[in-house]
Amino acid sequence: MEVTILGSGASLLSPDRVSSGLMVEIAGEPLIFDLGAGVLHRLSCSLIEITKIEHVFISHLHIDHVSDMIALLQSLWLSGYDKTLNVYGPSALMKMATNLGEIFPYLQGKVKLKHHQVEPGFQAKSKNWTVLAFPVTHGDFEAYGFHIEAEGKRVVYSGDTTPCKEMIRVAKGADLLIHECSFPDGMKEIATTHTTPGDLGKLATEAEVKTLVLTHLYPELLEELGEALTSIRASFSGKIIVPRDTQIITL
């Protein structure tokens, strides 16, 4: 299984980190998780043929996780895509997809879409993989994390969340936890819908994950990356990866 970090940034972009996106390839089949601004570009930078994509999972409807969805549809259409694109996400994603033809009539019917509304405990399966959606805590927003199981390995992606019990339960013993780490500890009081390094270290320790990958990195966090890693290390002794965009992690 190969995990590619497509976008490790958040809503404030930097030249080397675009918004949220992740690709998990299982036996050559790509599963996409989140499609924030810039993720389509990352995909186009020689990673895969986008027409191979048949499954897109969206964690929640904040723009930095979904804005390239429409751009992907246009690119697939222009690439002669003739498959059915399975799109998985919260109810608001269904609303967006249903109204797409009204806002962009020229896209109407150009790409065959199958919508799957995600709810807590939702599972998508193929013969090679299982993806489970679980609720995370992101203010009042309907938001999900995803647990991917394939080839005897377990990967968990947090989407956006504060540290939550459901994450610890689902991620228990996972091979890879890709978790948001948005802001430094000093901004904890204002970052009430996100996770800070000290709390992430405790969560990863309690969940006993083998490797922790930091993502959804705001510039404020990156400016204090050394302190952030020290803060995580205060409790977590497993492997930590601060990925660059397009970095591939092989499991």
- Binding region for Zn ion (CB under 5 A): 62, 64, 160
79 neighbors 58 (Cβ within 8 angstroms) = no
Nearer to Zn ion, 25 or 160 (CB): 160
Question: Which residues have CB under 8 Å from 105's CB, separation 6+?
Answer: none
The string of DSSP codes covering 63-131 is HHHHTHHHHHHHHHHHTT--SEEEEEE-HHHHHHHHHHHHHSGGGTTTSEEEEEE--TT-EEE-SSEEE
Least distance from Zn ion to the Cβ atom of residue 137, Å? 11
In angstroms, give the least distance from the CB of 177 to Zn ion: 17
Q: Which helix (H) or strand (E) holds 16?
A: none
Minimum distance, C-beta of residue 180 to Zn ion, in the bound complex (Å) = 7
Least distance in Å: CB of 182 to Zn ion?
Answer: 8
Q: Quick one: tokens of 29?
A: 């089949």
Decide: 120 and 133 in contact? Cβ < 8 Å. yes
User: Contact, 33 vs 69, CB < 8 A?
Assistant: no
Smaller CB distance to Zn ion: residue 81 or 134? 134
* Closest distance to Zn ion from the beta carbon of 65 (Å): 6
Cβ closest to Zn ion, residue 25 vs residue 180: 180
Looking at the Cβ atoms of 64 and 68, the one nearer to Zn ion is: 64
User: Shortest Cβ distance from residue 62 to Zn ion (Å)?
Assistant: 3
CB–CB of 111/81 below 8 Å? yes
Please, which residue, 23 or 150, has the CB nearer to Zn ion? Answer: 23
CB 136 within 8 A of CB 166: yes
Q: Which is nearer to Zn ion, 64 or 149 (CB)?
A: 64
- Cα-based angle 44, 50, 54 (whole degrees, multiple of 5): 145
